[in-house]
């Protein structure tokens, strides 16, 4: 068997993320980082464009008359989720697993479980994230390989959250 340069180094572990994938994520995250607030908001606006019913998942949107793109709480929340996602992707290869800041996977699992988030909702978020990044990076930077790298990182984050989406056992 030939040794493939850039193939996954953590082949026996939970994480499969190649050097090339890491480079593509780091390259694009370096561009996006300085504009995370706006890009994060666009990420969430894309989610709501595809799935308007997802607004119901956010208590601060339910009784608000403020337009979505002007809602300060949405902007803060969206930036936080976007930065968390991108940082988890950027650190995925070195950390060897999904790591999240400002929260825990256990908490993310519990929240998504409580809200009834399932396959369909995670798929919409994945699509929205990839579309948002495609529009946020320079046109000549975006490629199928970059899409694949971000898609893989997102899938691993969802998998890590799903692992924690278990009803709490009562003793």
- Rounded to the nearest 10 degrees, the angle between the axes of helix 19-32 and helix 119-136 is 70
Least distance in Å: CB of 155 to a copy of itself?
11
20 binds a copy of itself (CB under 8 A): no
| Cβ-based nearer residue to a copy of itself, 90 or 161 | 161
**Which of 28, 91, 121, 156 is close enough to bind a copy of itself by CB under 8 A?**
121
Q: Which two tokens mark 117?
A: 């988030």
66 binds a copy of itself (CB under 8 A): no
58 binds a copy of itself (CB under 8 A): no
53 binds a copy of itself (CB under 8 A): yes
Which range in 36-44, 51-59, 63-71, 138-146 contacts a copy of itself by CB under 8 A? 51-59
106 binds a copy of itself (CB under 8 A): no
């Amino acid at each position: 068997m030939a040794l493939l340069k850039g193939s996954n180094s953590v082949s026996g572990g939970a994480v499969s993320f190649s050097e090339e994938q890491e480079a593509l994520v780091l390259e694009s995250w370096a561009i996006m980082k300085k504009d995370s607030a706006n890009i994060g908001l666009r990420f969430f606006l894309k989610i709501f464009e595809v799935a308007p019913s997802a607004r119901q998942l956010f208590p601060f949107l339910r009784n608000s008359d403020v337009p979505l793109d002007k809602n300060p709480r949405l902007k803060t929340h969206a930036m936080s989720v976007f930065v968390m996602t991108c940082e988890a992707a950027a650190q995925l290869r070195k950390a060897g697993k999904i790591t999240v800041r400002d929260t825990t996977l256990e908490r993310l699992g519990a929240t998504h479980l409580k809200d009834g988030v399932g396959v369909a909702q995670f798929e919409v978020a994945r699509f929205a994230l990839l579309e948002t990044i495609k529009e946020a990076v320079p046109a000549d930077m975006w490629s199928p390989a970059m899409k694949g790298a971000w898609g893989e990182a997102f899938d691993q984050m969802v998998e890590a959250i799903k692992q924690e989406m278990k009803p709490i056992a009562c003793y």
